[in-house]
Amino acid sequence: MARKYISSSLNNGFDTDKVVNTCADKISTEFKHKKQAQDLSTTQVFYNEIAPHYNLRKPKGSKPTMVYFVCCINKKQVRISTGFKVYPKHWGKDKAIISNRQSIIDNKNNSLLNDKINAMNERFNEYKLYLCDERIEHSNQTFKNFMNNTKENNTDLIKHIKNAICKDDKADNTKENYLRFVSRFEDFLKTKETYVLNTALMNEFQQWCIDNMKTQNGSKVSPDTINNTVKKLMTILKNYGVMYGFIDKTTLDNILIKPLQVKKTDDEIALRGDEVTQIHRFKCDNKKDEEIKDLFVLECLTGQRISDIDKVANNIETKNGRTYINLVQEKTTEKIEVDIIFQIALDIIKKYNYKLPTYDRYTYNKRIKEICKDAGIKGTEITTKQEAGSGTVKKIEKERYECVSSHTGRRTFITLLSLMGYNYNDIARYSGHKTLETLRQYDKSKVGTKFKMMYEDTKKNHPELLPQLINTKVCKNQEIIKTNSNTDIKVSNKHNYEFLFKNVDVYKSLFITNSINDEIQYNNEVYTLKQICNYLQTEIGKKDRYSLIKQILKESCNIPFISYEVFIKEIYDISLMEYTTCNHNEQITVDVDGNTVELDEIMSIEEIQEIYKERYIKYRCAELGINIEEIKKYLNKHIY
């Protein structure tokens, strides 16, 4: 059964509450019984002479002012608010001015007002026909009731809003969420014969949500969920109901809902770095779970929301050996242009040939818990729960894998970068957070010492279990790098050279973590890249460089999922890619029909570079005491 919606816009000049409270019954009575005026049969009424016009509330002002529909009935003026404003200087005769001399936004606002005026004029013409057909008394009350009970609202407000959402160009996930909120409101309205959209109705809806919304296990939802439901619905009604003329703007402006009181808790978890690696290495037994697992790991290592994760691979840019993400976040429209810093993230993107699968949030959240359970994520968490309508907060013990959801990945990324020494400003560039206060709430490493101590222990004793940076082995603070020669090299944390290498990726890879000999002195004015290059050719510089390279290669060989191609590229990149520093200045010659010919005479530069690269890799590995063929066999044996 269709429900009657009676608009309750705030109209200066008459008692809105009185109108809306009597509107449904009065209109119903008039429609059913065709109430007639006492002397209607003997009274002349010239309906065509009844004409409306529009007045401004403050016609001489300089700020936007409300526009009113005005009509004279029985020698009395009746005003009804259009719900829209206009600059007095933009007002013409009963309509707003549209002009190329005005800004785009002014013309847009004026167009919305004109659309409303046209709708009210059309409704007024229907009113005159209604008077003739139904032979109803032409009175102030009849007029107000009819004009407020608009044609659109007499049909189905919910239907119109749903159609408007479906036609919107927003992402499918967003539209599904919007429709879910509207459907919940529709279920509530089914309990009412007629309704007036006002504060009282929305308070009733809030209470209905408290009584009827349940979690998957049948318990009441939290106050946060209720508040979010009401808030989202109001936003949807404003964006679609008002925009398309289904609801008067002033109707929503005057609805004030007191949110439910929420007792703040911090129950959301972040995974440890070794747990992320553990999940990544786990092999699911079906394609669907494998894809969801990969998307979740990608969340953990890029920091993007589930609504954005499928866009990570849409616009990938590779430059100077680095891979960059370019996307606009769906929730905040924040533009993100950052590099992919974890090798696993890049491997996953390549695995799907830069076209990531997509899953709805419900399926994703349901399966990722089971995947984490099967992958061996263990431990328990003490969580708290406050049910809507209750001030009591209950403590609940849950398995750690049960606490994992789509947003866990985002918290994991932020926490992991914080543990690695990134400051919040840098992390925000990756996550897209607009305020550092919000970002801090995601950082679980700041809660006590457990997270930090476990990370430091893993980093010291099992660094291969932590997600590795692309072409970089992070060495923060004062650490000892173990080399094959049993010589310990102390790494200083006194200086920050990052700004010197931001445009030279291979140098940045080696020195961004301050892993450079103490003899290099920091001087912001005179210390140049050329001096660094010169330093690297000294015996001390080579010692620093070769020791780091050796350590990186050694650790790479302990990672069973690294491919041989990635390993070769790593050797090539971290070794500075400078042929001249590796005694490869000689020209390569070949025998052609008995004649000695230099290679550049018969091959392209690209082909020669590949040959140089192969020779260079073998030379570098031999210099470091690494058997490249043994590594190749090892990696081919362990790669899955």
Interacting residues of 38 by C-beta distance below 8 A, sequence separation 6+: none
Termini Cα distance of the chain:
60
Residue with more model confidence, 317 or 148 = 317
In 3-state terms, the chain is what percent helix, strand and coil (to 5)?
A: 50, 15, 35
CA dihedral defined by 80, 85, 88, 92, rounded to 10 degrees? -70
Return the structure tokens found at 279: 């999940």
CA–chain centroid gap for 108, Å, is 28
- Is the model's pLDDT at 513 over the cut of 80? no
Rounded to the nearest 10 degrees, what angle do helices 199-212 and 223-236 cross at? 140
pLDDT band at 604; cut points 50, 70, 90: low
User: What span, in angstroms and rounded, lies between the C-alpha atoms of 23 and 71?
Assistant: 19
Question: Residue 600: what pLDDT?
Answer: 57
Please indicate whether residue 414 or residue 548 has the higher confidence score (pLDDT): 414
Query: What is the four-CA torsion angle of 200, 180, 306, 266, rounded to 10 degrees?
Result: 40
Burial bucket for residue 126 (CB in 10 Å: 0-12, 13-18, 19+): middle
- Contact in structure between 305 and 314 (CB atoms under 8 Å): no
Phi, psi of 394 (to 5 degrees): -95, 145
pLDDT by residue (tens digit) across 180-220?
999 999 999 888 876 778 888 899 999 999 889 988 777 78
pTM of the model: 0.46
Share of the chain above pLDDT 70, in %: 60
**What's the sign of the alpha-carbon dihedral 199, 205, 211, 214?**
negative
Q: Which amino acid is at 554?
A: K
Identity at 81, one-letter amino acid code: S
Most confident of 131-140, 377-386, 628-637: 377-386
- Residues 72-88 pLDDT 10s: 877 788 888 888 999 99
Task: Return the DSSP state at 328.
Answer: E
Tell me the C-alpha distance between 420 and 178, whole Å: 38
- Tell me the HSE value of 161 on the side-chain side, using a 13 A CA sphere: 24
Do residues 8 and 198 lie in contact, with contact meaning Cβ atoms separated by under 8 Å? yes
Q: For the CA atoms of 198, 203, 204, 206, what is the dihedral angle to 10 degrees?
A: 130
Residue-wise pLDDT tens digits, 231-257: 999 999 988 888 777 787 777 888 888
Residues 6+ apart with CB under 8 A from 376: 278, 282
Higher-scoring residue by pLDDT: 385, 8: 385
* Alpha-carbon gap, residue 514 to 530, rounded angstroms: 18
In degrees and rounded to multiples of 5, residue 374 shows phi and psi of -65, -30
Could you tell me the domains of the chain? 7-149 (no CATH), 157-253 (1.10.150), 273-458 (1.10.443.10), 474-638 (no CATH)
Distances (CA, A) of 47 to 70, 73, 78, 123, 145: 16, 11, 16, 14, 18
List residues bridging with 383 in a β-sheet.
396
Q: What's the confidence (pLDDT) of residue 243? A: 78
Of 358, 433, 368, residue with least CA distance to 173: 358
What is the model's pLDDT at position 151? 41
Contact, 430 vs 338, CB < 8 A? yes
Question: How far is CA 436 from each of CA 195, 267, 359, rounded to the nearest angstrom?
Answer: 43, 20, 30
Q: What is the pLDDT of residue 10?
A: 34
**pLDDT score recorded for residue 635:** 54
- CA–CA distances in Å: residue 631 to residues 222, 545, 637: 55, 21, 10
Cα distance between residue 544 and residue 483, in whole Å:
11
| pLDDT top residue among 183 and 619 | 183
**Beta-carbon contacts of residue 275 (< 8 Å; ≥ 6 apart):** 377
State yes or no: pLDDT of 258 exceeds 80: yes
- Total number of residues shown for the chain: 640
Q: Which two tokens stand for residue 165?
A: 């959402």
Report the SS3 class of residue 573.
helix
- Indicate if the pLDDT at residue 28 is higher than 80: no
- Residue 554, both tokens: 């050694």
The pair of structure tokens assigned to 559 is 């990672």
The radius of gyration of the chain's CA atoms, rounded to the nearest angstrom, is 35
In the numeric block, which tokens belong to residue 409?
């990945």
Tokens 């992991």 correspond to 416
**Farthest-apart Cα atoms in the chain, separation:** 125
Confidence of residue 124 (pLDDT cuts 50, 70, 90): confident
pLDDT reported for residue 229: 92
Distance, CA of 168 to CA of 364 (rounded, Å): 25
